[in-house]
Amino acid sequence: MADDLTQRVADELEIRNLVARLAQLADEGDLDEYIQCFTEDAGWDGGAVLGTVKGRAEILAAAQQRRAGGTSGPGTNTRHVITTSTVEVSGNSATGRAVFHYYTDTHATPTLAMMGVYEDRFSRTDSGWCMAQRKVISGG
């Protein structure tokens, strides 16, 4: 029983760190490291505003496009903040739900530009837990 509990806690901690790391990498990190946080066949659904993509190549291209457009990444003075989150692990898969805030103008007076909920699915891979699906629900 203690081994199951220890594994569950370790899994939840790794997943929570993955969610935080994705936010940090989106704001200021290397996109090669960012894309490694996703499974090969991951999905990213940002709805009508942010678009929907499938697979690492499309997720990477969308992240590059956001950076080129100045909406995220180094030098854009933006920040993703993850708050209230839950994680449910079931074997080699897990689900999570987290509230996010997206700020602009972080170099001066931060402005809340968007908030919502991430609904996530995760898969355990040979290299650890990875994002398998992210659904962005703005205003949620």
Domain that holds residue 71: 2-138
pLDDT of 56 reads 97
Give the whole-number percent of the chain exceeding pLDDT 90: 90
pLDDT band of 32, cuts 50, 70, 90 = very high
Q: Work out the mean pLDDT of the chain and round it to a whole number.
A: 94
First to last CA, the chain: 37
| Tens digit of each residue's pLDDT (9 = 90 or more) over 66-102 | 999 999 999 999 999 999 999 999 999 999 999 999 9
The answer, yes or no, to whether residue 51 has pLDDT greater than 90, is: no
Distance between CA atoms of 52 and 136, rounded to whole angstroms?
10
Q: Which band of pLDDT confidence, cut at 50, 70 and 90, is reported for residue 63?
A: very high
Entry field: residues in the chain: 140
For the domain that residue 94 is a member of, what is the CATH number? 3.10.450.50
pLDDT above 70 covers a percentage of the chain that reads: 98
Write the pLDDT tens digit of every residue in 107-118: 999 999 999 999
Q: Sorting pLDDT into bands at 50, 70 and 90, what band is 1? A: low
Dihedral sign of CA atoms 62, 64, 68, 74 in order: positive
Query: Is residue 57 predicted with pLDDT exceeding 60?
Result: yes
Domain total of the chain = 1
